[in-house]
Structure 1
Amino acid sequence: MPKNGVRIRNFRNNEHFEHDDRSHNNTRRVSFKPGTNKGKNKWNNAKLLLDDDIDMTGSAGGVPVHRKGFRGRGGRLNSPAPRSGHGMPRKKFIAGVLPWYQITIPHGAKHEKDVVLHALLSYLSPDIFIPHYYKINGNSAIFYVDDVKLAEKLFHADRKIVMSDGFKLMVIVRNAVPNVNVDAAMKEKMKLAMAKRYNAVTKALDLTKFHADPDLSDLFCALFRPVIMLVAIDIIAENIPDIEALNLNDNKLHGIEHLRSLPTKLKNLKILYIGDNRIPHIGSLEALKALPLVELYLKGNPLLNRFQDHDIYVSSVRKKFPKLTKLDGVDLPPAIGFDVLENVSLPPRQQSFLVDPAGQGLVREFLTQYFAIYDADSRQPLLEAYHEHATMSMAANYLTCDNRNYSNQRLNAYLSNSRNIMRITDPDSRRRYLRTGRLQVVSFLSDMPKTKHDLMGFSVDLLVYTPTMILLTMAGVFKETVTAGNPLRSFHRTFVIVPNAGGGFCIINDILFITNTAKKQEELAFSSGAEAAPAPAAVPAAAPDVASAAPAPDDNAQKMMLNMLSQQTGMNEHWSVNCLQETGWDFQRALFVFNQLNSEGKIPPDAFVK
């Protein structure tokens, strides 16, 4: 026997309730097994219920449960829900994005304006509000308020104010702004309202709460609307372009991007008040960064709540306005800076720097010879340019991740041998990517892509110039000559140069960094003739040539250089001797001259007949 004496009858498919109006072919199985409906009410179809009295039971055990939202005995399904106070939750006020709210009083037209407003003010007392743009629209009275707290209180005044005729005043509140149409008449009224707010002595214009000006009571003239603010700025720039102070406090400004024209139209503006507005964050002030402000008022804006430390707030504002001396009505301490005149300009930039002008000749000759060989078909002659125990490392990296998406900007030929110590932390790996000895160095350089350097685009710095060591750094652009598309690369290179035992100089340390070119580098690359040698700037033309002052090598050294030049160039002894004599027995220079003349086809075939 079921609980509570309820007898359960199992109906066959062709049976139905007395008042059931369902069609016979629409079968529906009902199960009373626990968990079948998983806690959800499946009895939503009105045709499944009886038209007579309904027992609203909600538990499987048959315990009657009073269900809110339905009438008692005699009530019918889908009857209207009861009003507030009869089981339904009260409506909630939701603040809008805009700072304006439209108040609609249905049937408010049958009462005088003063009567309606007096009733509302009496209910809200001691709070008061200013009804903007009151008008009658059909049977309704409509006005606007510009305060969210007052809008919420008016929202809760709905049906709580009883008029003299017993009518309960309905109050509808929604987030909306009045329509605006900026025409010539409106501009003229704005101009007259500004004229009375301008102080010609202090050159200050006070536009505080401009929309509430009595002369603009019949117009919606809120400065937080960009179209109105831009018109106001144009009026100011046209009539008082020398204005120095502007007060925009309490104008509901939630964004100031439309103030970006102030620096160009009001160039003398030094004092700006934009307090008690809704400016959200410090980044919004970027639009005013070009103004030469000495005083700024921001108090009352949400952006101040983002700073827990007042000093950080002051510092952040000062970064945007370095000349600021007063913030939020408080004098600021003098900013820490250099005691220099404001109009002092920095010295002109130099493409190159020489710690000693006497090194100009060496720098010119060294770079010309080295990169002539480096850019040649074979880099084997560079063996003579490196010290026997020289070390060399190369690192490569992308300027941005976007460069990896373009095939001609990929650095695959360099990344596999890159000694980037920011990524390679294992000591053994670091040693493996470090080339030691002239054979390893030149072999590594020979395996790198063939290149052509823009010598005239080099920036060269001679940092150390002593008889025992020279430190030389350079940066520039080169292109890969045998790679598809001839991509451009940017590089930075450092040479440590020491005297050679046989005379001249050699490289003992070489550090190379390669990356993608910047846009400006691509525009200027090879634009001034890449064949010429780089000339360091601001260096006297008559600087002595250190290389030419080196003593002539002895007979044994001459014979050794003669044999090496003949082997590397393929010239016979006669032409090799002439080449060395004309270059002062400077092997590197002689090799460079040969490569230069040979590439131009100026060496006759007789020079190679032995």
Structure 2
Amino acid sequence: MATGDDSKFYNEHDDRVGGPQFRNRKGRGPFRCRMYSGQGSRPRHRGGRGGSGPGPRCRFEDDDGDVAMNDGSSQDGASQRRFNPYWRRNHRTDDRFNQERGGESGGGHRAGGRVGGRGGGGAGGSQKSWFKMTIPYGKKYDKKWLLGALQNLCPLPFTPIHYHTEGNRVQFYIEDSTTANALSKVSRKITDAEGYKVAVLMNPSAPPSFAQTELKPEDLEHLKHCMAKRFDGSQQSLDLNSIRIDPDLVSQNIEVILNRKSCMQAVIKIISENIPELVSLNLSNNRLYKLDDVAELVNKVPNLKALNLSQNELKSERELDKVKGFKLVELWLEKNPLCDHFKDQPTYISAVRERFPRLLKLDGNDLPPPIGFDIEVIPTALPPCKGSYFNSDDIKSLIVRFLQQYYSIYDSADRQPLLDAYHDGACFSICNPFSMQNPSRCSLGDYHKDSRNIKKIKDPTTRFRLLKHTRLNVVAFLNELPKTQHDIASFTVDVNTYTNTLLSFTVSGVFREVDGKSRDSTRAFSRVFIAVPAGNAGLCIVNDELFVRNATTEEIRSAFAAPAPTPSSSPVPTLSAPQQEMLSAFSHMSGMNLEWSQKCLQDNEWDFNRAGEIFTKLKAQGSIPEAAFIK
């Protein structure tokens, strides 16, 4: 009679009761099911014919002569079927029968057992299924020895997930049917120091609870804030090294473990929605053992050029196949187990470059140039940017005067006077390429909440809401934007359309913020104005579209770098900041050097508009000497 303890004993059998005396015992056991071995041999039936007598004893020996004990319960469906002495098992129908009858429930599948049958049904039908691996009496073994012994015999590299003990057993999870099957075939091929065989049992499993745990909305907000602090907007790089021990997350008791699917998916979503222009990503020290989730970024972050995967748990170079869609020029893989599989450095480099042919740096070391076709490559360069384009001098004078007046007010403490520049039915919108919540110094968070980027915003209602209508609403919104100082010397103007009743032009340049969290951050902008004639020979804006982005390194370097006026023998009074800005703008717009521009402004008592009119008149008459234009 089998008690509950007996059942547990059978479930955890590891041959310590499997000596010769036990093998030759001839009592009737409690099992009525056919057994499996690692070799899939034919079962040996004993007992009376037909189904009326006692059930047969099921004894089955595998190739080393040890008794293969199944831990299945005698109450399962397979054990209750009628005994047929003429039944013959064959490999073609066995798995199908098992699948139709539900298989052998309750027990671990022995070595060589197939899970789910051939049709892909059941847990084994998907290559992404979870399996629980059990080592009976595994608690007595050293973890390092046990995993090392299993890996030495298993033909595929594996990563035990959630290695733990339960009673005397060791259990862990495998997230791949092929690997789990390969590992189960190692069963009873390892002999411990006491001469016992080490059994490996495999059971299909639902995903472990920790793998399904979703981050709460408030945890996601904390994660966004943490990632924002780790984001460098000037380099378009995100450093997620050892994020699981980030102080900001630890202090909130938030676990962000990137080898868990839910956590990695949350990170990928934040990246794809906020920084798709990412160029460099550091995922080092995160215990990653597979790259299936990282592969989703191939299409979501197409500009990624540098990827750091060092100090993780990647065991096979096949993981790199999942991310070979990245056009990487820099890659770090050092201190991953896969690095130990290569016999020398050239072999290692060759294997990596096979996946990433454009790679120039590996583990921080420069690589020799890749071998390509012997075709001479002619170096090319982008054409230099051209200067402003005006349709005529009259239009130039009109626009220069307008921009000087507009930005002198825009950069002041109060933008309310801009009401005079807008039509009653004016319309305004703002757009930026990307954003981050709780932005760092170099991000564009202040401009993001009202960004009308129609490539991302598909909802018509939201698109309409983000348009600012009427001059009162437009100027009220402009007052909410960060205070700025524009570098008028950096302005480039292109006239798009000009008629007697309408003028459309684009102005591009740089500015810096002068207060708030992003103080002194340099931005680049492009602004399209559509204007109609105003009664005072000026312009009235009917449509205004502003695009803001982070300035490039070159733009930052050259911003606000206008040279000082040429020294003269006569004393020159010190210019105030507004006068210096006006001087720089006048020189840029007129084409004269700073000395002559200052003279023109001083002669007209620093009235920018009058100085512009006098300059235009004198230039048309040919009265300005050539020396005025020598810079």
For normalisation by structure 1, the TM-score amounts to: 0.37
TM superposition score normalised by structure 2:
0.36
Larger radius of gyration: 1
